[in-house]
Structure 1
Amino acid sequence: MSQRAQNEDEAAIISAQLRELDRDAYLASLVLPQHARLPIQTLHTFAAELAAIRHRVSEPMPGEIRLQFWRDALEGERHGDVESNPLANALFSAIEKYKLSTVPLLRMVAARRFDLYQDPMPDQNQFEGYAGEVASIIFQYAAQICVGEQDAPEQFNDAAGHLGVAQTYVRALYSFEYDRRRAQVFLPVNVFTAFGLKDNDIFAGKPEEEILQALQSCAEHARDHLDKANKAIKALPSAAKPAFGVWPFIDSDLTRMQHALDKGEWLAVKMSDWRKILRLMRWGLRK
């Protein structure tokens, strides 16, 4: 097989993986400039692969082993399993071509250990630090790739930081029911304790009124970060803005969740793909 054919196969595999693991990131990647599409899809796929580990294991050890695979790979131990992994190959190509530091990616791997256990997320500061490590760095690197700059300007960091926190809040809100049934709390526990709730109350889903109030508070924090991200994105050079194409999807999901919470529900239905594509197109025109 020629190198070109191999690269095309690799790109198709990455695209398919991303479409399966993170539909929003996949849809947003369709409007990326051609030169940036594969490396940014690769970064999002890497992040989504780490996020999916907790859903694939029933106990921590298998998850730890999978995280160790990526830790070893990023630290330079590229044994046979790494060399034969299309995602790993694409990731290292992006790292080399765009001179991306592996340190933040190693921090992402380390942060995902939290997912494997039942320790609660203590407070907003811890939550935002976690969000920065598992989500914000991808947006920052994506913006660097779009504009071809090795070092991220402060304005990239601002947009990426707030968008990553907003996205992590929204995903945790949508997975709240799933997580609480697994005795896990990804949202900041101090928000729940402010309404007189303890861990056992969260896991039991009662009292509902106080839980709804806590979830509404989390949604308000998400909205604040999303608004700040939007303001920061508007100030970016036009070449960098496609890196933040999931903003309208997060906005839509958060709006739907807030409407559900206002009605006394904490389960919400996300927007269909075709509606998301229309929103992405309108968002792109406004930017």
Structure 2
Amino acid sequence: MTPDEAEAHLFDRLRRRDPDRFFAASFSPAPVRARLLALYGLHHELADIAETVREPMIGQIRLAWWREALPAIGAGEPPGHPVAIALAEALRPEGLAGVLLPRLEALVEARAEALEAEPPDTLEALAGRVEAEAGTLAEAATCL
């Protein structure tokens, strides 16, 4: 899959699944739009793990794949997954990988913690989870 094909795939997926972020990305300049599509694509991949697995261990295995893929993505050698290909393209500008990769790793870790944790039982616990997931995603988007 080429980077352009990966971007088209993510554009269509975001349009169907996340209209608010789709419109925000659509009105961004082309280079930023491609990076946002990649970031939001990762967000949806990670969210899908929690939504589709019944056993936390299976989810952890899938998250481990992303944990291992991120350094390769940062090095410009992504596995053949559309989101990984798009992320590798997104990280190409000099210095962006160093800024964005730690945030992407934090997204994976937040999803891993949420997968193992009980549902939040206090407002503070819920706010912490939202900050770890959505807050980190928003912070990563501002780096693009």
Report the TM-score when normalising by structure 2: 0.79
- Correspondence 1:127-206 to 2 at 5 A: 127-145=126-144
Q: Using the TM superposition, give the Cα deviation of residue 67 of structure 1 relative to its aligned residue in structure 2, in angstroms.
A: 0.5
Tell me which of 25, 28, 37 is aligned to 2:21. 25
Tell me which of 62, 66, 79 is aligned to 2:58. 62
Q: RMSD of aligned C-alpha atoms?
A: 2.5
Q: Using the TM superposition, give the Cα deviation of residue 71 of structure 1 relative to its aligned residue in structure 2, in angstroms.
A: 0.7
Cα pair 2:56 2:115 within 8 Å, conserved:
yes
Amino acid at match of 2:137: I
Change beyond 3 A, Cα 1:61–1:13: same
The number of residue pairs the alignment matches comes to: 138
| Structure 1 unaligned spans of 5+ | 146-287
Q: Using the TM superposition, give the Cα deviation of residue 132 of structure 1 relative to its aligned residue in structure 2, in angstroms.
A: 2.3
1:15 paired with 2:11, answer yes
Higher relative contact order (CA 8 A, sep 6+): 2
Q: Using the TM superposition, give the Cα deviation of residue 109 of structure 1 relative to its aligned residue in structure 2, in angstroms.
A: 0.8
Cα pair 1:39 1:91 within 8 Å, conserved:
yes
Provide the rounded CA distance (Å) in 2 between the counterparts of 1:65 and 1:17: 24
Question: Match of 2:61, SS?
Answer: helix
Cα pair 1:42 1:91 within 8 Å, conserved:
yes
Task: Give percent identity, aligned residues only.
Answer: 29
Cα pair 1:22 1:48 within 8 Å, conserved:
no
Provide the rounded CA distance (Å) in 2 between the counterparts of 1:17 and 1:57: 20
Tell me which of 85, 88, 99 is aligned to 2:81. 85
1:116 paired with 2:112, answer no
Cα pair 2:11 2:22 within 8 Å, conserved:
yes
Q: Using the TM superposition, give the Cα deviation of residue 110 of structure 1 relative to its aligned residue in structure 2, in angstroms.
A: 1.4
- Correspondence 1:30-49 to 2 at 5 A: 30-49=26-45
Q: Using the TM superposition, give the Cα deviation of residue 60 of structure 1 relative to its aligned residue in structure 2, in angstroms.
A: 1.4
Question: Match of 2:100, SS?
Answer: coil
| Structure 2 unaligned spans of 5+ | none
Cα pair 2:10 2:38 within 8 Å, conserved:
yes
Cα pair 1:21 1:45 within 8 Å, conserved:
no
Q: Using the TM superposition, give the Cα deviation of residue 117 of structure 1 relative to its aligned residue in structure 2, in angstroms.
A: 4.1
